[in-house]
Structure 1
C-alpha cells in the first residue's frame, strides 16, 4: 500500500536498514539510528539505479512524490535523471568539482603505474566516490560528507575498499591543495579507526588480490594429478569450503547448479551453487576422468579425496603458509565486494548467512538469478586474471 504521513510518523527504527515502499519506484529508507532518506529506484539502459531525494521530514511525502514524477517524465523522454543531475552539479562547480579534480589527480598519479592498477583506481572512484561527492565543489565538501561516502562502501561489506577510498579521497585533496584547487584537505581530519571498522584479520592464509593472477597460472601449470588440478580450479570458481568440495558426489550436480544437501552443509537447508559456463565445462572434463565413480574427486584407495590433497598441492606449487583452500573464499569475498556486488548475495553464496529452520527453507534458493549472474561474472574475471598471470 502507498505510504501516508501518518504511517511514516509511526515507523520505528529496526536493527537494520528497512525500506518502506510507496509507489512507482519511490521508497523511504529508515536506518537503525532513525535517519530517513527518500530514494527513487528506476531502470535506464538496462541497469537498475537509485537516486536520493532528500530526508524526511525536510522533504515531505508530497514533495518526494513530486520529484519522483519529475524524474519519471525525464525517463519517458530518454533522459537518465541521475546522469542529468550529476552533470548539472559538475557544471555548477566548474573546474573545482571533485570529479574533475580527481581525474586530473589520476592523470598525474598513474604515471609509472601498471595500466591494470591505474584502470582499477579510476573505476573504483567512478563506482564508489563520484556518485556521492563527484559533483560537489572541492571547497564545499565537508568531513561529514566524506565519512558518509566511505561508510556507504563499508555497509555493503567492502571493509578494505572503504579504507582505500578514504585514502584516495585524501590523495585527491592533497593534489588539489598543492595545485591551488582547494584551500584545505577535509579528509585529513578523519582518523580511519574513528569512523570505519578495522580491517578484519584472518587466520586462514591467502595470497593478496595482486597475487591472484600468478596463483591461477600456477594452478593451470600444476604437474601433479589432473584430478587435483581440476579440484583447485573448481574451488577457485565456486569458492565452496574444502570439505564441501572433496566429498561432493556426482548426484549433487544438477545441470547448471550444484545442490549441496543440508546434511553436508551442517545447516537447516541445502546450499545452491550456480555453475558458470566455465565450471560446467570443467565438470564435463572431470566426468570423463571420474564419472564412473560416486565422487567428483575420489580418493586413491576408497571414499573421496583427502582433506590434505588441496593443501599439499598448494605446497608443491610454492604457496606453503601463503595460501589454503579456504583462502579462495576470502579472495572471492574481497574482490566481489570491491566490484560492487550485493553483500547479501555474496554472503548467501558463501553460506555465511545465519539461518533458522523456517527462514532457511526459503532462503536457500533466494536471489538465485542475481547469484547466477555474479558467479558467471566471477568466472569471467578469473579468466582475465589468468591471462595476466
Structure 2
C-alpha cells in the first residue's frame, strides 16, 4: 500500500463488503474499526441480534456463512488496496458471533502468527490465521476484484441451463482450492483429493432433476411452518415499494419477481404486525401454492431445468459444525459464486432444501451414493447449501443494501 491507511479507507472497504449475500438479505453484520497501528487496521465484526433468524436458522449456519461471505468480500476489496486479511478469529456460537481480524500491508506474515481462541488458547475448531497458516488463502482472495463483488447477483427468476459453463466454473474453483475434496458428478466424473480440515472437505455434486423436484415439493412449505417461521420470514418480505425499508434490506417484491400490484395488495392484506391470523394464514397458503408451482415451472416451460447443485461437508448434523467453520464455508461459497458470475452464471438459492430434514436427507443420499468409499465405508454428509445455477434470461433487479 503506497498511501497511509485511514479510517476512510476502511469505511470504503465496509461499503464494498456490504454487497455480500445474506439469508433473507438480513445483512446481519456490524463492522467496526477498532484501531489503526503500524501493524495495520484491527477490525471487529459483531452480529446484529435484530438481523438473525433464530427459528429457521436454528444452528446459526446461514448466519455464519453470511458473515463468511462478508469477510471474503472485505478481503477481496482490501487486496486492491494492498492489504491482506490476517489473524481471523471467530468466537461465540449460533446467533451471537464475533469476528476479529487484521488488515495488514501485503507481505510475509510474522513468524508464529496464529489465530487464538476466545480464551487465548489454541482451539482445533478456531479458524487459522488467513495468510499466515496458509499463504495461498490471501492469494485466492486477491485473485478476485472489487468489480466482481459489486456485480455478483442472485437471480430468482428463470435461469437457462449451461452445463458446460457450470463444469468450467467448478473446475476453476477446484484449481483455486486444490486441498479441498471435490466430488463433481455432473457426468459421473469424480475428482477427489485430500481433505483440508480448514474447510472440512467440501463436496460439490449435481442433483438429478427428479430428486431435486421431489425434495423441493417437500421443502416448499418449510419457511411457513411452524407459524413462528412464517412470521420470521414475513418480517423480511418487502411487498410494498412505498415502504421506507424497501430500499434498505429484506426480500423485495422486485427481487422476488412479484408484480407490483399483486405485491401491494398482499401488503394491504397483511396490514403490518397486527394483521389478523386468518389473513396471514391465507397469504401463507397462497405462497405455498405459488412456491410449489415456481419449483416446477423451469421444467415445464424450458423443458430443461437449470443445473442443480448441492454443497456439503462431512458431518452428521448442523449442530456438530462450529461457528468458525460456518464462517470459513461462507468464504468458500462466496468464492465459488464469484467464479460462477465470472462465467456469466447466476444462482438461485433454495435454502429450505438443506434446512428441512427430509429434503436434506435426500440431498445427502445423492452425495453419499456418488462419493467413492473411504476406509471401508461411505462418508456421511451434511448439505450446507443448495441452489440452481444458469444464465439469466433477462435483467436482474439489484437487492437493496443498508450502506
Q: Shorter-normalised TM-score: what interval?
A: under 0.3
Rg comparison, structure with higher value: 1
- Higher relative contact order (CA closer than 8 Å, sequence separation 6+): 2
TM-score (norm 1): 0.25
TM-score (norm 2): 0.25
More strand by share: 2
